Chain A
Amino acid sequence: MSNPQVELHVTGYGVITLELDQEKAPKSAANFLAYVAKGHYNNTIFHRVIPGFMVQGGGMEPGMVQKPCDAPIENEANNGLKNNNYTVAMARTGDPHSATAQFFINVTDNGFLNHTAPSQQGWGYAVFGKVVAGADVVDKIKAVKTGRKGYHDDVPKEDVIIEKAVAL
């Protein structure tokens, strides 16, 4: 069975195609596909952009309005997948098992985000897929101008909007 793919159509930037690793990250992949299916990611933004690190999105509408999410999922960071350049992983709070809809795309090899121990500090961030087309789109996003907005740092000055997410 081939792995599922999802297209992120980013207004003015282009299309990023993600391939999800259903075998190694079944829960994260199913969770992501469920949000795609119900249209959650349509009209969300990449709200946290840090060149040399990662670009994060999928949880906020333009204007930094938080979208409601489903229950958090189990952290699958111990699946052996690494937070390497152009991989996609689940974002979360300090609690390892708190990921809902937000995800991030690594824009460099972030070894220190990998799972090292089943502890609060060592859980790491669960990689569940990778960019298979549109890496240049990711490169354009990571280069946008950012600043502080309310309680949030590294917010693009001009909204980077995911117009729609489409499962292929």
Chain B
Amino acid sequence: MELHAPPHWRCVDFISDLHLHANEPLTFQAWGEYLQRTTADALFILGDLFEIWVGDDVLADPSGASTGFEQQCAQVLRAAADRTNLYIMAGNRDFLMGPALMQACGCTLLEDPCVLEFGSQRWLLTHGDALCLDDKAYMPFRALVRSAQWQRDFLEKPLHERLTLALQMRAQSEARKQGNTVYADVDTVAAQSCLETLRADHMIHGHTHRPARHPLGVQHDRWVLSDWDLSAQPPRAEVLRLSLVPGEHGPAGKARVQRLSPANAIAAKPAD
């Protein structure tokens, strides 16, 4: 999947791994405020926007099994999409997001991976989980839950049952986090070969919660997004911004990359 930024785009923001959940009101609030006020020409959310997503039918839930939190989030997305271009990629948590949610929110669902052409550069966008090859236990699980058959079977279950299953899975995952698990990182060789195959210069991904810039050879690099957890100490939240600024020595084709706190991302004029 390829996206060509329209010529008037000057500023594009990236966030990921918000893990929005009703029990994390501070993160929801910070995210909502940022979405309400960002001046970027486009916002890309690269996976794990939601901690849990059991199917788009949660938005129109007549059974009352859901808490209404998803509807609140959808309203925030809808309002933001009225102001700017909103693109959403699924992560390993919210891979069941589908066309109904996108339609309700006025967002575009991105395939993983996806290439964005912005200025004279090609940016490879991915959640990142598919490149964590050392996560041996996760890879077969990912293949299973991303299969059409598994998703069809799962979505056929009643909503309350899916919510219960999802909560159980989350509890197991939380329990694992308490242990001494060492989490796999993105595989360098796989990342490089992915960039070469898609003729991209740079990669942007989330998933690992280890914000950094890793050079990949001479030409390429890999930018890792931060997760958002506003109740952590210190709180974590970050926006990666690309802006095209006219150079002092002539036209600039390469975007400037900035890491901004949500507050600074709101305050800064585009390409300031």
Contacts and interface: CB of A to CB of B under 8 A. Distances in A.
B119 interface: yes
Nearest to A107: B120
Interface in B228-257: 244-251, 253
Interface stretch (A1-9, A91-99, A128-136, A140-148): A91-99
B7 A52 contact: no
B7 A116 contact: yes
A52 B10 CA distance: 19
B59 interface: no
A112 B250 contact: no
B198 to A, nearest CB: 15
B8 interface: yes
Contacts of A152: 249
B271 A112 contact: no
B10 A125 contact: no
A48 B8 contact: no
Interface in A55-103: 56, 89, 91-94, 96, 102
B40 to A, nearest CB: 13
The binding surface of chain B is classed by DSSP as loop
B150 interface: no
B250 A56 contact: yes
Given A52-B120, A116-B8, A110 B246 contact: no
B270 A112 contact: no
Contacts of B118: 112
The binding surface of chain A is classed by DSSP as loop
A54 B245 CA distance: 16
B250 A91 contact: yes
A108 interface: yes
A37 interface: no
Contact of A121 (B5, B10, B253): B10
B8 A117 contact: yes
A121 B251 contact: no
Which range contains the number of B residues in contact with the other chain?
20 to 34
B249 A48 contact: yes
Interface string B48-77: 000000000000000000000000000000
A122 interface: yes
Contacts of A53: 120, 251, 253
B250 A94 contact: no
A120 B10 CA distance: 11
A144 B246 CA distance: 24
A113 B8 contact: no
Contacts of B271: 121
Contacts of B10: 121-122
A125 B7 CA distance: 12
B120 A108 contact: yes
A55 to B, nearest CB: 10
B245 A112 contact: no
Contacts of A161: none
Given A50-B120, A52-B120, A112-B119, A102 B9 contact: no
Interface string B2-36: 00111111100000000000000000000000000
A104 interface: yes
Contacts of A94: 245-248
Given A52-B120, A112-B7, A93 B251 contact: no
Contact of A91 (B8, B251, B253): B251
Given A54-B250, A116-B8, 9 more contacts: A52-B120, A53-B251, A53-B253, A110-B253, A112-B120, A112-B253, A121-B10, A122-B8, A152-B249
Instruction: List the 6 closest pairs (A to B, CB-CB), nearest first.
Output: A116-B8, A53-B253, A111-B7, A91-B250, A53-B120, A94-B246
22 contacts: A48-B249, A52-B120, A52-B253, A56-B250, A56-B251, A91-B249, A91-B251, A93-B247, A94-B246, A96-B246, A104-B250, A108-B120, A112-B5, A112-B118, A112-B119, A116-B7, A116-B8, A117-B8, A121-B246, A122-B10, A125-B251, A152-B249
